[in-house]
Each structure stands twice: as structure tokens, then as C-alpha cells.
Amino acid sequence: MSSLSELLEASAARHKHLCPRQVLGVRMGLFAGELLGLTLPQRDKRLLTIAETDGCATDGIAVATHCWVGRRTLRIEDYGKVAATFVDTHTGRALRIAPRAEARQRARAFAPEARNGWEAMRLGYQRMPAADLLAVQAVQLTTPVARLLSRPSVRTACEVCGEEIMNEREVRREGATLCRACAGEGYYLLTAENAPLSFEPPRRVGCAAS
């Protein structure tokens, strides 16, 4: 198990500096492991983390837990909050952890040498007892873990765009299998210049090559 200082150093290396939110992310991940009885950073995929923001705090969480997007153990639900839910996929137990509302003000008491508020948070968040720094809620996921993780090698194709869909993320509409974009749930719209091209060969423009 890595120490707090080692994890902070690893997080800082990704940003070329250490900020208060990275410290929060690392502390949140470590506290989750303590409360769930898991050894972190993990070497398997037992812990699933659902972070409520992108950026610095989530990088700190990832370093502390070894939950990564590419390993399908880290998901982002962007609520714009420095908060995350940590799920033991073996037991189903889930804990949502976030900084206490008063943590920012209390940090100064743990870092009297700090030159400004930012430095007080960066240092104070490292030194505060976890129970004083972080609030914990036992929660139940609205989507079951089995549905989030899906099954290995499950894939199908969208009947509209033809693109492959993995991990049971397809949508069924009137008997058709659709990707979320073709089902009207997409985060993007195709612009005219990026619309799918026809299969007709392009016409030559100007003089033919010599």
C-alpha cells in the first residue's frame, strides 16, 4: 500500500504541480479503501469508482485507487462536484464521499504557516483527520453494478448507422437495435460537412494528372 506522500507525488507528476483538489481526490480514495476494507491502490478490478467531476480531483482518486477509465473501473457522471461513489463490486456496498462543507475554512487551522488560502487548503487537506475532512453517505446505485459492467465480449451493431455497440449500451426502439445517438440520446449532431459521404467515386476537378 502506497503512502499519502507517494500518492500525492504520483498525482502531481501528472499535472506538474500539486493542487488542493488533487489532495482531496487522493484522500477520498484512501478513505474509501479504509471504509470498504480494501487494499488500495488495487491490483484487480474489484473497486468501481463513479466520479462526479472531471479534472484534478478525479486524477487524485485514480492514482489512489487505480480505478481507470481504460480498465472500466472509473466512470464520470459530471455533476460538477468534488465527490465520488466507491463501489465494492463483490459485496455491492457503495459509499459516496465528498469534502465537508466546512473543510475549506478549517484547513487554515492545520496549516498555520500557509501564505494564502490556496496553500492552506493544499497543506491542511493533507493533515486533517479523514473524518473531519470528508463526509460519507451509504448509497444504492440506481443502475445495478452488473448492468454498469456488462458482460465480456458482448457487442452488437446499430441498425441505423451500422457502428458497433459494446457493453450492452444499445437501445431498443420499436423492435430495432439502435445506438444512443441514433435513438436521439446523442451528445452531438452531424453538421453538413461531416454528414456521412455517399459511396459514389469523387469527380475529378481541373486537369487530369499528366
Burial of 166 (0-12, 13-18, 19+ CB in 10 A): exposed
How far is 2 from 16, CA to CA, in rounded Å? 20
Q: Is the model's pLDDT at 97 over the cut of 90?
A: yes
Strand-strand pairing, 84-88 and 94-99 = antiparallel
Q: Phi/psi of residue 178, each to 5°?
A: -125, 150
Q: What pLDDT, on the 0 to 100 scale, is given for residue 195?
A: 56
- Residue 94 is part of a domain; what is its CATH number? 3.30.1330.130
Strands 47-51 and 74-76: parallel
169 and 118 in a common domain? no
Report DSSP state, residue 184: I
Within-domain flag for 76 = yes
Q: How far is CA 55 from the centre of its chain?
A: 9
Q: Are residues 34 and 103 in the same domain?
A: yes
Per-residue pLDDT tens for 101-115?
Answer: 999 999 999 999 999
Q: Is residue 202 part of a domain?
A: no
How much of the chain exceeds pLDDT 90, in percent? 85
- Are residues 27 and 75 both part of a single domain? yes
CA of 95: how far to CAs of 20, 33, 173, 206, in Å?
Answer: 22, 10, 34, 66
Q: Does residue 170 carry a pLDDT above 50?
A: yes
Q: Is pLDDT at 2 greater than 50 in this prediction? A: yes
Average pLDDT over residues 6-17: 92
How many domains does one find in the chain? 2
Q: How confident is the model at residue 180, as a pLDDT?
A: 95
Query: What is d(CA 26, CA 60) in angstroms, rounded to the nearest whole number?
Result: 5
pLDDT-derived band at 33 (thresholds 50, 70, 90) equals: very high
Instruction: Look at residues 167, 209, 169, 204 and name the one whose alpha carbon lies nearest to residue 186.
Output: 169
Other CB atoms within a 10 A radius of the CB of residue 161 amount to: 14
117-165 per-position pLDDT tens digit:
999 999 999 999 999 999 999 999 999 999 999 988 899 999 999 999 9
39, 70: one domain: yes
Provide the terminal-to-terminal Cα distance of the chain, rounded to the nearest Å: 68
Q: What is the CATH number of the domain that holds 173?
A: 3.30.60
Which pLDDT does position 192 carry in this prediction? 79
Host domain of residue 80: 4-143
